[in-house]
Amino acid sequence: MSQEFVLVPEPTDALPIGKTGSLLYWIASVDHKLLGIMYIGAALIFFVIGGVEALVMRLQLGSARNTLLSPEAYNQLFTLHGTTMIFLVFVPMVVGFGVYLVPLQIGARDMAFPRLNALGFWMLVFGGLLLYYSIIAGSPPDSGWFAHAPLTAKQYSSAQGVDYWAIGLLLTGIGTTTAGLNFIVTILTMRAKGMRLLQVPMFTWIMLVDGFLIIGTLPPLNAALVMLLIDRNLGGAFFNPQAGGSSILYQHLFWVFGHPEVYLLVLPTFGIISEVLPVFSRKPLFGFNFIAGSALAIAFLSYAAYAHHMFAVGLGNAFNAFFAMSTALIAIPTGVKIFNWIATIWGGKIRFTTSMLFAVSFIVLFTIGGISGVTFGIVPTDWQTTDSYYLVAHFHYVLYGGSFFAVMSGLYYWFPKVTGRMLSEKWGKWVFWLMFAGFNLTFFIQHILGLMGMPRRVYSYDDLPNWSLFNLISTLGSFLLAFSVLLFIISVVLALVKGEKAPDNPWDAWTLEWATTSPPPIENFEQVPPIRGRRPLWDLQHPDDQDWQRSHSGEKIGGQPHEASLPSEHRKDNSQ
């Protein structure tokens, strides 16, 4: 058959580019690869800041009636920690992965709107700086990352912290919205010739869904923030019950953003997992269409489930019943994905690289977080456990044990492509096991603390039986976790300084980003291999065994099944 390569169209605009490596080269850059690296770099810097805030809180909670922190400082710390981790770590992290990888995976030279891409990044950075400027201004925000009204009203939070918080989030929110828009347009219009929409790699497909989720999710937050700012600075009455306003309205607006936001952060990590697991199991992704469809289902249902954050408000039984049901419902498409990933690994030739270890542990930890999440959908249980450490444990299992482990998996997987250097596998194993141990030590016991009645967001506690011990275990775990992050950062620096040079396709992967050099040249590709299926590099290497010539059960279309003669990687291949 013909193996004609597809030319990649050149951009229509000349894009500014400074001298390689200079400061201007980075600041003025509109190249998606540099912006992707900057997104991820910014996320890692904020991750360290947010992590230190968490460590200080854990120090305070390490023993009963500790006096390290004042209650005010503790409130400021958990607000900054939550806001930082959600908006300045996870958002730029997943957007960064998307910005870097999507054009490479679809065989394009850049995003659809390179300048908008840069604008979005810098708005996010300045939003983050504004949030942290509140410390210099003397009044960090202290009303929690969701800042429920009327606590944020001028009469209860008279300092400027909430204003910095709101304006900072407004900036990052608008920046993120432009990124979402950019993903949609890029994936819909810039795919290499021959690549159909359902032939894009799973990560790219999920970034498309995520793009829609982003542009649908951020506007309610922006509306809520604008109203909050009007209330605080112009004397508006939106959320002020004394003036006829409604503080419940804020909760609705915030959580109709807040819940889809969680999926907005989690979905791209599903995409990362869906790239890593097949490559290290030497099998195609099991049930591509099911994973693709369930991503859509999750995106839709996430809006329908938002008010399970509001069961404790007392909105009535019919209201609660609806959102209890939708919460249970969203577990189904998520479960579909878990089974697909397990089936992908099943019977594969598994290579336990660091990336794979993180990916597999993601499945386990995310499932734990998912199961505790379903318990919150049961209204009476929710009333007992909401705002307790059980909740804290739940969302850390989802966002840290789930999403962040997937992010680590992605970092190990794509690091050679991005930097041209290999990360040390020996260090990687240490990073993984220490992080795994540290994470579970920190957060698993918080389930029990929560069920014992320990409330979240309280700076101290009485010396009740076992409370000090369990909290101390959690604190020790958090320092182990921090140590593993430190090891990771050192191993990254070591790899950049004297790491082994990475080949173009070190993991023998099949998607287009591995068809170019490591790191890719500024234009990404002159040409890409012909695209007839979801694994163009597999097809390129196996002219006699093309993906697209196989049915869904892995048998050759039109030919006799001859499984015995197939390469072992292809046996039990059910997805293509």
Partner 1 sequence: MTTDKNRLGMLCFIATETIFFGMLILAYIYFQNNAPNSGPNARNSLNVGLTAFFSLFLFASSGTIWLAERSLHRGNQRGVSLWLVATVVLGLIFLGGQGYEYAKLIGENITVSRNTFGTTFFTLTGFHGLHVFIGLLAIGILAGWVISGNLKGHKSSALGTISLYWHFVDIVWVLLFTIIYLLALL
469: Cα separation from own chain's centroid:
32
Distance of alpha carbon 415 from alpha carbon 551, whole angstroms: 34
By C-beta, is 176 or 576 nearer to partner 1?
Answer: 176
**Half-sphere exposure of residue 111: CA atoms within 13 angstroms, side-chain side:** 35
**Contact by Cβ (8 Å): 284, 347:** no
Determine, following the binding rule CB under 8 A, whether residue 296 of this chain makes contact with partner 1.
Answer: no
Distance of alpha carbon 380 from alpha carbon 375, whole angstroms: 9
Least separation in angstroms between CB 216 and partner 1? 6
Determine, following the binding rule CB under 8 A, whether residue 197 of this chain makes contact with partner 1.
Answer: no
Determine, following the binding rule CB under 8 A, whether residue 135 of this chain makes contact with partner 1.
Answer: no
Question: Please, which of residues 156-185 interact with partner 1 by CB under 8 A?
Answer: 177, 180-182, 184-185
The residue range among 217-225, 358-366, 441-449, 547-555 that interacts with partner 1, by the rule CB under 8 A, is 217-225
21: Cα separation from own chain's centroid:
28
Question: Please, which of residues 332-371 interact with partner 1 by CB under 8 A?
Answer: none
Determine, following the binding rule CB under 8 A, whether residue 112 of this chain makes contact with partner 1.
Answer: yes
Among 12, 67, 317, 560, binds partner 1 (CB under 8 A): 12
Least separation in angstroms between CB 230 and partner 1? 6
Q: 147 by DSSP, 3-state: which?
A: coil
Among 42, 89, 108, 227, binds partner 1 (CB under 8 A): 227
By C-beta, is 223 or 342 nearer to partner 1?
Answer: 223
Distance of alpha carbon 121 from alpha carbon 95, whole angstroms: 9
**Contact by Cβ (8 Å): 39, 31:** no
Distance of alpha carbon 23 from alpha carbon 133, whole angstroms: 23
Distance of alpha carbon 116 from alpha carbon 188, whole angstroms: 17
What is the size of the binding site for partner 1 (CB under 8 A)? 37
Among 15, 223, 379, 448, binds partner 1 (CB under 8 A): 223
By C-beta, is 236 or 347 nearer to partner 1?
Answer: 236
Determine, following the binding rule CB under 8 A, whether residue 243 of this chain makes contact with partner 1.
Answer: yes
Helices (H), 190-246: 202-234
The residue range among 132-140, 245-253, 488-496, 543-551 that interacts with partner 1, by the rule CB under 8 A, is 245-253
Distance of alpha carbon 72 from alpha carbon 87, whole angstroms: 22
Among 236, 453, 455, 503, binds partner 1 (CB under 8 A): 236
By C-beta, is 224 or 277 nearer to partner 1?
Answer: 224
The residue range among 144-152, 211-219, 267-275, 397-405 that interacts with partner 1, by the rule CB under 8 A, is 211-219
Q: What is the largest CA-CA distance in the chain?
A: 78
Cis geometry, peptide bond prior to residue 150 (ω within 30 degrees of 0): yes
Least separation in angstroms between CB 188 and partner 1? 6
| Closest residue by Cα to residue 88 from 270, 265, 252, 208 | 265
**Contact by Cβ (8 Å): 102, 184:** no
The residue range among 27-35, 216-224, 495-503, 563-571 that interacts with partner 1, by the rule CB under 8 A, is 216-224
**Contact by Cβ (8 Å): 132, 210:** no
Interface ranges with partner 1 (CB under 8 A): 12, 112-113, 116, 177, 180-182, 184-185, 188-190, 211, 215-216, 218-220, 222-224, 226-227, 230-231, 234-238, 243-246, 249, 253
